A = this chain, B = another copy of it.
Amino acid sequence: MPDPTLRELSRRAIRQRLGDVAIRIFAERGYAATTVDEVAAAAGISERTFFRYFGTKDQVLFFRADEDTQMLVDRLRERPVGEAPWISLRQIVLVSLDLLDDEAELERERMLRSILNSTPELLAHQLARVADTQRTLGDALWERWIAVPGHREDDADTRLVLRALVGAMLGVLTEVMMHAEDQPPAERRRLVRTALDAIRPGRVDLGGEPDA
């Protein structure tokens, strides 16, 4: 990022501000009961301009999550080539949970979850996003897999298994985030770690049984 031009800075700032304002108002008065106009006004812009930043009312709640997905993929790419897939996954997930150590971030996550849980339409959107993350991470894992000498590009079975691995991991993550939402960050981290270890794959080349 060489040139954070003034326009670009302003754009990011307004996006951020809209995101913060929206999540707070939605949490207070409810998602359906809040109009886009109210959110825009609270952020100091017109309704028309809101829709130039976010295509729809709900996107204002999810743009941060898009960044999270990208962060997971980036971190995955930073892991050493040849590391067993399950180990890589476990690592990047546990690191990303550290975000919740930040008090403000934790509070934000709480509000977001309460909004999502009380609006079926948003929950559906969330599921679609998880499915998307699963696909993206699965592809990235596969790219890394076939980059290892000796691994074949036509190993369809393993490709499927890798997708399943991501699915299992995200499944655990969602389960814990949904059903242990009141637990402190440390406890949630422990739960995730325990669950991940419980379902680790049998195949050693995938990262199973590292201590056997």
Interface residues of A (CB under 8 A from B): 120, 123-125, 127-128, 131, 167, 171
Question: Which of the residues B124, B131, B167 comes within 8 Å of A125, measured between beta carbons?
Answer: B124
A205 to chain B, nearest CB (A): 18
Flag if B127 contacts A120 (CB, 8 Å): no
A171 to chain B, nearest CB (A): 7
Other A-B contacts than A127-B128, A167-B171, 7 sampled, CB-CB below 8 A, are A120-B128, A123-B128, A124-B124, A124-B125, A124-B128, A127-B127, A127-B131
Q: List 10 A-B contacts (CB under 8 A).
A: A120-B128, A123-B128, A124-B124, A124-B125, A124-B127, A124-B128, A127-B127, A127-B128, A127-B131, A167-B171
CA distance A171 to B125 in the complex (A): 18
CA distance A125 to B120 in the complex (A): 9
Contacts of A120 in B (CB 8 A): 128
CA distance A124 to B62 in the complex (A): 14
A106 to chain B, nearest CB (A): 25
Contacts of A171 in B (CB 8 A): 167
Contacts of A125 in B (CB 8 A): 124
